[in-house]
Amino acid sequence: MERRKFLKAGALGVATTALASPAVAQGKRQWKMVTAWPKNLPGPGVAAQNLADRIGTLSGGRIEVKLYAAGEIVPGRGVFDAVSEGTAEMYHAVPAYWGSKSKGILLFGSQPFGLRADEQFGWLYHGGGQALYDEMYGRFGIKPFLCGNSGPQWGGWFRNDINSAEDLKGLKFRTTGLASEMATKLGMAAEAMSGPAMFQALQTGALDAGEFIGPWTDSALGYYQVAKNYYWPGVGEPSSAEECGVNGDVYNELPDDLKQAVSFACESLYNPVWTEYTTKHALSLKKLVEEHGVMVKMFPEDVIKAMGKAAGEVIDELRQDDDELVKRITESFVAYRDSVGGYMTYADNGQMNARAGIMGY
């Protein structure tokens, strides 16, 4: 797919007037979904449209959701505030974008050396995470739902080789969420920007490196054209949850069956979104290497160790946060990670390591 298809939305002017309250006519509600993505961007842009369509289907057409790409009503990073303030009824984005609201929010999306996609869903649904998620977002008048996951993200696109942790120091690096705090502790200059903006910054040299999602989405944005070194593992984001946020007043006024329709639309998309990323990342990586000359490289061991040390410092700071809710979220996350992570040593990790040893049969 060509890059330009996903850049038009980002160039659109932002509307300057607030939109009207949601229409309810003949039992139908018209909702606006604002997103953090260009329309139909492989991965999150596609997932957002699927969610809008699924809410319409599961509600029997009683909720009609119209999707607005980043920049059509508000900038991508403005969707949280737009829903909180009632400019739109819902958004599709990732928790990693809302650290300025509260550091505790960042744990619901991705965490350096943290939870895999299935573990993230498990924490919220079986480990007490959803109640904390609701409590935190409730401060801003938003009802949150997880509705997808990218799976393991990549370490990033680098213009030059990384041979040691020393090579990271001073690099201008695009990342988000808690991964940006980890990067800062490694001596990098962490930059927050959209995926399309990252391409331009790599192209001009304003960035030395950056990570966005993974091979499928990254291919569509053309990063391979301006940086050929593609590093793994993406320990900064072992998974990255996508979320839907619904204006709390709008959600609360729904009858119970429509609340269930919205909730199930989000829940039922989590695995399809995650497995689509996994499937298409694998196909896209092969194409990046064979057709575009991308060089796939593993971070040296001392880099991974340095990242682990920095990540530990980030979590320690969250545990000492002045906000009691942030502390509770952090302790809940750590307890779940350690419990399930210990089990995975014998279960999934053991099986995957064994399978890797006999690939090709």
Cis peptide before 233 (omega within 30 of 0): yes
Which tokens sit at 246?
A: 């619904």
Instruction: Count the Cβ atoms, other than its own, within 10 Å of residue 257.
Output: 11
> Pairing mode, if any, of strands 28-35 and 23-25?
antiparallel
What does the alpha-carbon distance between residue 70 and residue 7 come to, in Å, rounded to a whole number? 10
**d(C-alpha 113, C-alpha 121), whole Å:** 16
Distance CA 233, CA 136 (A): 30
Q: CA 176, CA 110: separation in Å to the nearest integer?
A: 10
Annotated binding-site residues for substrate read 153, 174, 211, 237
Query: What are the structure tokens assigned to 106, written together?
Result: 């960042």
Positions at the binding site: 153, 174, 211-212, 237
Residues making up the binding site for Na(+)? 212
Q: Is 170 exposed, middle or buried (0-12, 13-18, 19+ CB in 10 A)?
A: exposed
